[in-house]
Amino acid sequence: MPITLRRFLPVGLAFAAALSLAAPRPAEALTISLDFVTGATTDALGVHTTTADYSAFGFTSMSTAQIQSSILSAVVMDYLGFPTAATDASSPLAAGKQLDINFVMSSGATTPTNGDSEYYFVAIGKSTGGDTFLGQACISCVRNSSGVGPNFGAHTGTLVGSILVDNIAALAGLADTDIERVNLLAETVAHEVGHSLSLEHPDGPLANPGDSIYSIMGTGASPTNMPNDQRILDRAFAYTEFSQLIGAVGVRDADVPEPASWMIFAFGTAALVRVVQRRRG
């Protein structure tokens, strides 16, 4: 999908989308909370973070709160805005369905208030342990590909992975726009959540509905060897990866418009909404 359509919405919709897609609703199966940390954290794999500073990215017109809301909105679209078979014949997702997963924001790993009894956290912060990778999460610790979980000692409330904002900032020179800067951050978050839901790194490019021949689960290291300039694009899960996500978390009736509806509604004035095993992305 064109980056301008997937990542931009009218000003009022920018925050309405994040709020409505992450708003409280009757309990479903699972919530992943993006924890924008405000102090020291240690995840299940021993990665340490503290409060992140986004100034090195060069955002031109976005506050920290807007950056964080845009990251959430982008991750929501990656998981809940995937095209269905009604609009993309290659999609494994049936018309009128979406993944049975919810996303919210937190600060300090606070318990979600959306009614879900099972939830996990992903820390988004600055590395304090000298780690050099962009992010990390435990493979299949939330769900395996058959939908069984939690696994490997994980339990409700586990911090299953970490996104190292300061390390991602080293790639900020690749981005020319705020939307590309958010892509750098959000796709790393979506990638690490994918690991916790059984996805691993592909061997190379995979067919997908995004702006890159590389999927969200692509990595710059072996086996994918994805060029870093692909990280600023609006990537998507590969069709095969999304099929595996369906097996991991199941589906429910969609309660948001299809992607095409979002694009029609978004046309016009725009504002950014986007921009146990060890695996590094």
pLDDT category of residue 271 using cuts at 50, 70 and 90? very low
Q: Are 93 and 83 in contact (CB under 8 A)?
A: yes
CA distance 193 to 122: 8
Mean of pLDDT values over 103-125: 94
DSSP 104-164: EEESSSPPP-SS-S-EEEEEEEEESS---SSEEEETTSS--TTS--S-TT--TT-EEEEEE
pLDDT category of residue 20 using cuts at 50, 70 and 90? very low
Position 25 scores a pLDDT of 44
The residue type of 253 is: D
State residue 206 phi and psi, 5-degree precision: -135, 145
Task: For residue 232, give Cα distances in angstroms to 179, 188, 254.
Answer: 8, 10, 28
DSSP 170-224: GGGGG--SHHHHHHHHHHHHHHHHHHHTT----SS----SSSSSS-TT--SSTTT
The pair of three-digit structure tokens given for residue 145, joined into one six-digit string: 């590909």
pLDDT category of residue 115 using cuts at 50, 70 and 90? confident
pLDDT of 18 over the 50 cut = no
Instruction: Considering the domain delimited by 3-276, tell me its CATH architecture.
Output: 3-Layer(aba) Sandwich (3.40)
Dump pLDDT digits (tens) for 166-203.
999 999 999 999 999 999 999 999 999 999 999 999 99
CA distance 106 to 270: 26
Position 175 scores a pLDDT of 97
Dump pLDDT digits (tens) for 200-218.
999 999 999 999 999 999 9
pLDDT category of residue 61 using cuts at 50, 70 and 90? confident
pLDDT of 22 over the 80 cut = no
Q: Is the dihedral of CA 185, 190, 194, 197 positive or negative?
A: positive
Mean of pLDDT values over 126-150: 97
Dump pLDDT digits (tens) for 82-101.
999 999 999 999 999 999 99
Position 281 scores a pLDDT of 60
pLDDT of 239 over the 50 cut = yes
